[in-house]
Amino acid sequence: MIFHDIVIVGGGLTGLMAAVEAPPGTDVALISKIYPTRSHSGAAQGGFNAAMAEDDSVENHVFDTVKGSDYLGDQDAIETLCSEGPEVIRKLEQMGVPWSRTPEGRPAQRSLGGASFPRACYSADISGHAVLHTLYERALAAGVRIYPEWHLVELLLEEGRLAGLLVYDLATGRLEVVRCRVALLATGGYGRIFRKTTNGHANTGDGTAIAYRAGAVLSDMEFVQFHPTTLYGTNILISEAARGDGGYLRNAAGERFMARYAPQKMELAPRDVVSRSIFQEIKDGRGLGEGYINLDLTHLGADKIHRLLPQVNELAHLYAAVDSSQTPIPIEPAQHYSMGGIRVNRDCETSIPGLLAAGETANVSVHGANRLGGNSLLETVVFGRRAGRRMLEMVKRPMPPRPRVSLERALSNWQANFGVGAPRQSDDSVFAIREDMGRIMTDKVGVFRTGVELKQAMEELAVLRSRYAALRVPAGEHSFNQQLIDHMELGFMLELSEMTAGAAWRRTESRGAHFRIDYPRRNDPDWLHHTLIRRGDDGRPIYEAGTVAFTRFQPQERGY
Ligand SMILES: Cc1cc2nc3c(=O)[nH]c(=O)nc-3n(C[C@H](O)[C@H](O)[C@H](O)COP(=O)(O)OP(=O)(O)OC[C@H]3O[C@@H](n4cnc5c(N)ncnc54)[C@H](O)[C@@H]3O)c2cc1C
């Protein structure tokens, strides 16, 4: 058994930001299933929103975010996000983040969708990478104990509070029990439940599913963001920075079709609006090839592209054989971000005492029904820091009881699933089930949804759960058992898929990224509330309504 005062699960921006908040000498451990610097945060390109410029304001940022959220975001949390943003950006600068600069030497800021001001601080188009590496170096210097390639398997609760974690060490193939005074889940999103996604392979929603199984409340799982511009075919992200820095979207006739859907904001309307517009163009026969649209950067010129968008240019070249200064890039929308997650308050506390959550795995509801570009990276560092601070207060409490009953139960679950002699009823494959799940989610729980298709998705996902339960399981007692990891991750994803489809089927209105063809209007009288989900005694999800926090802004029609 291992002891640490503070345990952080997840080595992305959220986990590392929380870790570096602790003064040197604090006993902090960071567990990560992939090496921290490979965390998905490192793929983020566009930037971190913060109202830094003299003629911008926190109030503008709050309003843009509330409107972007289609009034479902909690305004108290949004105020926290926006008001702490500038200070956190400056702190990152002091830590050594190489922000791109204005000629006067200030952090440069670019436009991203749904913002009324160029507000995203960036490092060319490798913003996530630059900050992740800076924070990682800081964490090493501060003596944070890092456990790479350790997988959280289960949370151990004793007397109703978190008492420890059951973790699988990939290298040795052994289970370890980690006791702690307080733990933070910073395990990222679950985009991999969709076949077409910009998310990396590790984004399987482990922390969200594990917390739910342990009794934590989840919220707003129906709200899934589809990014308008991913490379056609591979779904590699082409950052919103490409449109922020002047790129155009054109249909087969070469027309800038966004004039039809968002005449004021054009290409820089929020992502839900742009994704729907692209699909509408394709549906109406104005797409190219078998269903794509062009992102045109040719008018920007090679110099500007190489200076501001080097990664975009390289990705287009490597994966679509396109020189973006000469030829438009073929793009299509794909899943990008999970707005839903573990319900937390502004101090990142979940409904389980002793357990915090932050970043994409959590839902503090700063994004509501639709996230604005640049607000997620800001969320990781603002709420990562808040989680770190809260843990420093909580760590003064006595050590929770030693996990006994919970540990016995967790070990017997493990033995039943992965132990030597565990049942082997079916030769079905993890990959076949995973492929079917991704297809169902992309085809029936995507940008345009209907009650009929969502119901079908729920029924088909139930069949997949039965196939999963009968699956041949890989014994867990040898090192680098990747098959076992694939098996566990699929279990998490099936659970999250079911809740995403279930919550989407229940919400009979359209709001933000959740668009129901059969209920195309927003319906505030009936639906201006969060969807809360908890696990019933029979293991099935129970859906309830949760109140939205309002401070300054009352709902208005959302036009761009
Ligand atoms: C391609 C791309 C570009 C993006 N660009 C932007 C942008 O420009 N601006 C913006 O605001 N947002 C952007 N986003 C969104 C943003 O990058 C993410 O929401 C954010 O980085 C998530 O950070 P995180 O710390 O919550 O999780 P992650 O960075 O995903 O880290 C999750 C961590 O959890 C660990 N983990 C997971 N499961 C387990 C387990 N079972 N046991 C142990 N460890 C586990 C992983 O090892 C990893 O270290 C982008 C997203 C993508 C996909």
Dihedral, CA atoms, 484, 489, 494, 500, nearest 10 degrees?
180
Beta pairing partners, 120: 49, 110
Q: Does any ligand 1 atom lie closer than 6 A to the CB of residue 359? A: yes
- Predicted pLDDT at 423: 66
Q: Which residue lies with its CA nearest to atom 9 of ligand 1?
A: 374
pLDDT digits (tens, 9 = 90+) for 285-331: 999 999 999 999 999 999 999 998 998 999 999 999 999 999 999 99
Q: Which of 90-99, 104-113, 408-417, 419-428 is predicted with the least confidence, judged by mean pLDDT? A: 419-428
Q: 382 alpha carbon to ligand 1 midpoint, in Å? A: 14
Q: Does any ligand 1 atom lie closer than 6 A to the CB of residue 335? A: no
Strands, E assignment, 359-435: 362-363
pLDDT digits (tens, 9 = 90+) for 192-237: 999 999 999 999 999 999 999 999 999 999 999 999 999 999 999 9
- Predicted pLDDT at 418: 82
DSSP assignment of 274-324, as one string?
Answer: HHHHHHHHHHTT-SBTTTBEEEE-GGG-HHHHHHH-HHHHHHHHHHH---T
CA distance 400 to 418: 28
Q: Does any ligand 1 atom lie closer than 6 A to the CB of residue 114? A: no
pLDDT digits (tens, 9 = 90+) for 474-500: 776 678 999 999 999 999 999 999 999
Q: 360 alpha carbon to ligand 1 midpoint, in Å? A: 7
- Predicted pLDDT at 424: 64
Cα angle 369, 378, 362; round to 5: 55
Q: Does any ligand 1 atom lie closer than 6 A to the CB of residue 206? A: yes
Atom of ligand 1 nearest to the CA of 151: 42
CA distance 438 to 279: 19
Atom of ligand 1 nearest to the CA of 362: 26
Q: What are phi and psi of 190, to 5 degrees?
A: -135, 40
DSSP assignment of 153-202, as one string?
Answer: EEEEEETTEEEEEEEEETTTTEEEEEEEEEEEE-----GGGSSSBS--TT
Q: What are phi and psi of 450, to 5 degrees?
A: -135, 155
In angstroms, the Cα distances linking 519 to 450, 452, 467, 556 are: 8, 12, 33, 19
- Predicted pLDDT at 477: 67
DSSP 446: S
